[in-house]
Amino acid sequence: MAADVSSRRWVVWLLLTMAICLSCAEAGRGQVPAKRRLEVQRQLRRLNKRAVRSIKSPDGDIIDCVHISHQPAFDHPSFKNHTIQMRPAFHPEGLQFGDSKVASQKRTPPLSQPWHQHGRCPKNTIPIRRTRRKDALRASSISKYGRKKHKSIPNPLSVDPDLLNESGHQHAISYVEGDTYYGAKATINVWEPKIQQANEFSLSQLWILGGSFGEDLNSIEAGWQVSPDLYGDNNTRLFTYWTSDSYQATGCYNLLCSGFIQISSEIAMGATIYPISRYGGSQYDISILVWKDPREGHWWMQFGNDYVLGYWPSFLFSYLADSASMIEWGGEVVNSEPDGEHTSTAMGSGHFPGEGFGKASYFRNIQIVDDSNKLRTPTGVGTFTERSSCYDVRIGDGDQWGHYFYYGGPGRNSNCP
């Protein structure tokens, strides 16, 4: 009898010990230092504003409908007395190009965002993708969450090969420089490129640039990107970015800091866009226009033909408070050189420009806005890539597509070890 009691006590002790060990192991795996935990909590309270309505998207995002006057831009003292501009004073004038080549390939419904399937945001609110704890914890530090690394802009004017590759960013772009520019437009083929490492990304965008490529560079950027580190998945997402000091202390993606003022209740920055193009199948693209309103001086962004999304106030910038000195269109990837080899993270469709329509990614109808607020075809368009054996670019010109180019590539291959 005593042996049975002793045996039962031993079993109970063993089970308790196992339970304690398992609890310790779970706590160890999920342990976050107290200081970091507090920083994340403060960051989430700052970014996630009180919502009038919240919508659960099929892709797992939560979209909060926040009153337009409560958006993150107004956290900054500089915006205290700012009156929201609900529409631009002027749109650019200019030729609108057709879609006949894409339409002939059975281009189906226009691109949308998955959260629309479960509802829309009310009038006088804007949709904001909710930042979750796990999003903030993926960043190396709270101060770096939602920010690009320094020296990530392609500089086609540099001739130093060491400088070209020092940032780990690689590009395949078309560009114009040597004049004053007041905006840019492009229609961008949408894909879902494969990302090798979670700390890498692949994007396709336009850049509005002012200043030098030193510490004072001003940049406004918009397009689509796949960034597991920022979003926690491999979805293709609409994004914007801005900086007034070459990515050092100012600027961020989307609405992750004070800066961009959104007015649209229809489109969420950082949200998934769909459908996406398929190799040898249906092709989809988005149109993005960024221009400087000649009356107020703010830089406005339009998505497609129907959605004026909002603006970057002119006082955010130094050089861009006046005009841009360079426009770039194209792709960018991060090459972290895993295992000492070039990354296999794809740019665009992951195929080289020579494969053409339906297989390689494209920008079409690229235009600039001139000093009379007119859209026009750019002249003297150049191309630039750090390593054409990894990612390349090839320009063309045609009636319906205006100035266009194919770009991209697979990254690591036999010619890009």
The residues annotated with a catalytic role in the active site are: 221, 332
Cβ contacts of 17 within 8 Å, gap of 6 or more: none
Cβ contacts of 367 within 8 Å, gap of 6 or more: 94, 184, 185, 186, 375, 376, 377, 378, 402, 403
Q: What Cα–Cα distance (Å) separates residue 49 from each residue in 46, 66, 167, 309?
A: 7, 7, 34, 19
Return the bridge partners of 225, or none: 203, 237
**Nearest partner of 400 among 3, 91, 104, judged by Cα:** 104
Amino acid letter for position 55:
I
Computed on alpha carbons and rounded to an integer, the radius of gyration of the chain in Å comes to: 24
3-state SS class at 400: coil
> Which tokens belong to 271?
């949200």
Phi, psi of 78 (to 5 degrees): -60, -20
3-state SS class at 354: helix
3-state SS class at 37: helix
Query: How far is Cα 230 from Cα 135, in angstroms, rounded to an integer?
Result: 7
Query: How far is Cα 96 from Cα 320, in angstroms, rounded to an integer?
Result: 26
Peptide bond into 275 cis (omega under 30): yes
Query: How far is Cα 129 from Cα 316, in angstroms, rounded to an integer?
Result: 23
- Tokens 């769909």 belong to residue: 274
Query: How far is Cα 224 from Cα 366, in angstroms, rounded to an integer?
Result: 16
3-state SS class at 70: helix
* DSSP-derived secondary structure letter, 263: -
- Tokens 């890009």 belong to residue: 416
Dihedral (CA of 64, 68, 69, 73) sign: positive
